[in-house]
Amino acid sequence: MRRGRVGLTFDTGVLIALERRTQRIWEIYRTALEDAVPITVPVAVVIEWWRGRTDVRERVLGGVRVEPLHTALARTAGEALASVRSATPIDAVVMASAASRGDVVFTPDVEDLEKLGRYFSGVRVLAV
């Protein structure tokens, strides 16, 4: 787990909100960029969100680190799915990714990700 500055992990709903130019999340995104706070988006989130190239999508991706789905992350997410049967694979990947760094997760679907909080007890989930 990373020490020092807490990073941010965004889920699919946040990328959609950025694409739709939702003011609150753009303020969070811009502030994080200005303050050099790392923003991570698991590649599984990009798969769920990407529907073709646009200037806005390129701009959003330009400001985040896209994390590959490596075996250790996939295993952790799979174990979480076994523990929280109502969770989705992508939500499990988001939470496993954030937990690996001690990040805060931003999402419009707090309830869905908080279900996984039983497995990833150290991850804070904040609404946008």
Residue 1 lies in a domain: no
Query: What CATH number does the domain containing 77 carry?
Result: 3.40.50.1010
Angle at 19 between CA 15 and CA 25, to 5 degrees: 65
Strands, sheet with 65-67, edge to edge from the N-terminal-most edge strand: 65-67, 39-42, 8-10, 104-107, 124-127
Residue 2 has pLDDT above 70, yes or no: no
pLDDT for 5 equals 75
User: Could you give the number of structural domains in the chain?
Assistant: 1
Q: Which residue has the tokens 């130019």?
A: 21
Q: 3-state class of 23 per DSSP? A: helix
Mean pLDDT across 18-41: 96
Q: Is residue 3 part of a domain?
A: no
User: Model pTM?
Assistant: 0.94
- Which residues are registered as beta bridge partners of 127? 107
Q: What does the pLDDT read at residue 117? A: 92
Q: Which two tokens stand for residue 98?
A: 């954030």
**Is it the case that residue 4 has pLDDT exceeding 80?**
no
Q: Which domain holds residue 91?
A: 8-127
pLDDT digits (tens, 9 = 90+) for 79-124: 999 999 999 999 999 999 999 999 999 999 999 999 999 899 999 9
- Tens of pLDDT, residue by residue over 41-82, are 999 999 999 999 999 999 999 999 999 999 999 999 999 999
* Domain presence at residue 2: no
